[in-house]
Amino acid sequence: MQEDSGLYLILAICAIVPAVLLHEIAHGLAALYFGDTTARDSGRLSINPWNHVDPFGTVIFPLLLFLANSPFLFGWAKPVPVNFSALRQPKKDMVWVSLAGPAMNFVLGVSALGCLAVMAHFNWFSKPAVFFLSKTALFNFSLMVFNLLPVLPLDGGRILTGLLPFSAAVKFAGTEKYGMAAMVVLLIGLPVLGNEFGIDLDIIGRYLSYVVKAFVTFFVELFGIA
């Protein structure tokens, strides 16, 4: 694999970019369906990756995880702008707009495993193809599960905001300014602290690994992939 490391690096990028790009486009299309034209008006419904790529979140961060043999992969693109107040029923429609991104990743992940099942059925295997489809499934399921964490500004936080009673939703929305700091502590701070004391404090990592593995195992068994 050493001599083909450049090829596999390119394949990893090819698995990552569509996942984050289509995730954001799905949000924009859902918002458009429910009445908000912001994403369309700002040119963010285009499939041109340069309109969506965040250099660090789309490429560098996922590749660092890949090169570190991380058990999970995730990243992000530039968020598609959504004016929730422009939705026909803002609180209700926010749930569907927020679900659209993870739903897209679910479809892409299942589709990748479906392609692997077809390859297995016809007994046709190509190491690069298997690598690409496996990483596509892993990355999309990881992105889906991570984004469904009930923390603002992640999709799970938006969904929870839309489902809570109005007064509780307003209070929860006030936690958004602390959301990213909390994620940094959970994703980086606690694991580093745990390493210093020999304790496993990688809560998010273990959660992602467990849930993503459960999704992959379920569909591998469902599709009969050897």
- Closest by CA to 57, choosing from 45, 75, 44, 72, is 75
Phi-psi region of 198 (alpha: psi -120 to 50; beta: other; left: phi over 0): left
CA dist list (Å): 223 to 57, 111, 112, 113: 32, 11, 11, 8
Catalytic amino acids? 24
DSSP 193-211: HHHHHT----HHHHHHHHH
Encode 68-124 in three state secondary structure: CCCCCCCCCCCCCCCCHHHCCCHHHHHHHHHHHHHHHHHHHHHHHHHHHHHHHHCCC
* Contact (CB, 8 A) for 166 and 91: yes
CB neighbour class for 122 (10 Å; exposed up to 12, middle 13-18, buried from 19): exposed
